[in-house]
């Protein structure tokens, strides 16, 4: 079977969330020992979790995991980031050794860390936390040629799907957080966001690692050049990934689709994850029903992506690190939304009428 056919089969497995269960959750919130609506947006999150699980109350996710997808980018040659490509591999080693922000925050919320190499330019040493599925050692410069081939994009997507499936099937994971690592990866993220939302590069392109005004202007022009060169077709998501995406973006798409297949929450991190969610939605519109937006990244493309997907972020901490850090911080909110539905007493049980 061709690898693109496998992607299509995966996308076709996703069922819409159970609106009956979601409606039951909304009704139950009216019966709990609190004023109606007093838990604010936590109530609607609980309803969405019930829809994902197909039952009310929904199960409380007790075994979260963050999947940090890593890859390098040929477009870095254009000067879109002041950081060198070697930093990607160095940070992957840091994740594996437990010294990064994602490790500290994952430990805080009780999540395991899994790192997926789908496209790091450097060779990496084996490590228990590292899944090696390198499709190629980084992409080509998307502003001058295709970032990768269609088959490569599909393989990277299925690599992400494979890790997610392994975590759920063998590891008992019941909540996935998407993470990313790749110096230069906010440039393809901006290009993807422009393609799927129709917004211009001036609006979707941000400062990434904190570039100055001159570099930001260059970055916007690079994204525009890529879009003019390829004229990507949003109706062909795999083709778009191949033209202007990143290997880690594709892998995150696979994580999102697999979480949706299993009916478990997928908590998005920042702008790279948001751009991948747009691709996932284009492949499987129902996948957005299983996505929870952990936080609002400081990157402008994040807001545009979430508005397009009609998703509200749970947190707004002006974060833009990536790695899955912002998504992880929202895990306790997801757990609380499920637990309040399942463990709060009702007014009837308390004898309050």
Catalytic residue among 125, 323, 343, 349: 323
Give ∠ CA 95-100-104 in degrees, rounded to 5: 110
Which positions ≥6 away from 83 have C-beta within 8 Å?
Answer: 183, 209
191, two tokens: 């290009």
Q: What is the distance between the alpha carbons of residues 176 and 318, in angstroms, rounded to a whole number?
A: 22
Alpha-carbon torsion angle 243, 249, 251, 255, nearest 10: -130
Whether residue 235 lies in the annotated active site: no
Cis peptide before 57 (omega within 30 of 0): yes
Q: What is the distance between the alpha carbons of residues 320 and 289, in angstroms, rounded to a whole number?
A: 24
Strands laid side by side in the 266-268 sheet: 130-132, 112-119, 64-71, 175-181, 266-268, 291-293
CB 342 within 8 A of CB 273: no
CB 254 within 8 A of CB 11: no
Give ∠ CA 326-329-333 in degrees, rounded to 5: 125
Q: What is the distance between the alpha carbons of residues 344 and 43, in angstroms, rounded to a whole number?
A: 12
Q: Which of 157, 43, 71, 65 is nearest to 112 (CA)?
A: 65
Q: What is the distance between the alpha carbons of residues 84 and 184, in angstroms, rounded to a whole number?
A: 9
User: Which positions are annotated as active-site residues?
Assistant: 323
């Amino acid at each position: 079977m061709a690898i693109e056919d496998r992607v299509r089969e995966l996308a076709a497995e996703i069922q819409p969330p159970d609106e009956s269960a979601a409606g039951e959750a909304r009704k139950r919130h009216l019966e709990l020992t609190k004023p109606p609506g007093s838990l604010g947006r936590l109530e609607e999150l609980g309803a969405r979790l019930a829809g994902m699980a197909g039952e009310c109350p929904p199960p409380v996710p007790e075994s979260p995991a963050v999947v940090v997808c890593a890859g390098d980018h040929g477009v870095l040659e254009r000067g879109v980031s002041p950081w060198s490509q070697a930093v990607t591999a160095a940070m992957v080693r840091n994740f594996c050794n437990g010294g990064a922000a994602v490790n500290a925050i994952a430990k805080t919320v009780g999540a395991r860390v899994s790192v997926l190499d789908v496209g790091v330019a450097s060779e990496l040493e084996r490590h228990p936390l590292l899944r090696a599925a390198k499709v190629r050692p980084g992409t080509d410069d998307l502003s001058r040629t295709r970032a990768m081939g269609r088959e490569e994009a599909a393989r990277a997507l299925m690599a992400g799907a494979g890790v997610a499936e392994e975590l759920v099937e063998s590891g008992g994971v019941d909540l996935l957080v998407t993470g990313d690592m790749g110096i230069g990866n906010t440039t393809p993220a901006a290009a993807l966001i422009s393609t799927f939302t129709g917004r211009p590069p001036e609006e979707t392109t941000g400062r990434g690692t904190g570039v100055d005004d001159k570099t930001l202007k260059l970055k916007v022009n690079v994204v525009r050049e890529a879009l003019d060169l390829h004229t990507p077709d949003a109706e062909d998501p795999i083709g778009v990934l191949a033209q202007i995406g990143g290997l880690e973006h594709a892998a995150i798409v696979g994580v999102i689709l697999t979480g949706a297949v299993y009916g478990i929450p997928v908590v998005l991190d920042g702008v790279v994850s948001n751009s991948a969610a747009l691709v996932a939605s284009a492949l499987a519109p129902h996948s957005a029903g299983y996505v929870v937006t952990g936080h609002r990244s400081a990157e402008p493309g994040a807001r545009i992506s979430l508005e397009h997907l009609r998703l509200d972020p749970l947190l707004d901490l002006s974060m833009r690190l990536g790695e899955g850090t912002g998504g992880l911080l929202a895990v306790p909110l997801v757990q609380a939304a499920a637990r309040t539905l399942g463990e709060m007493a009702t007014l009837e049980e308390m004898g309050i009428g």
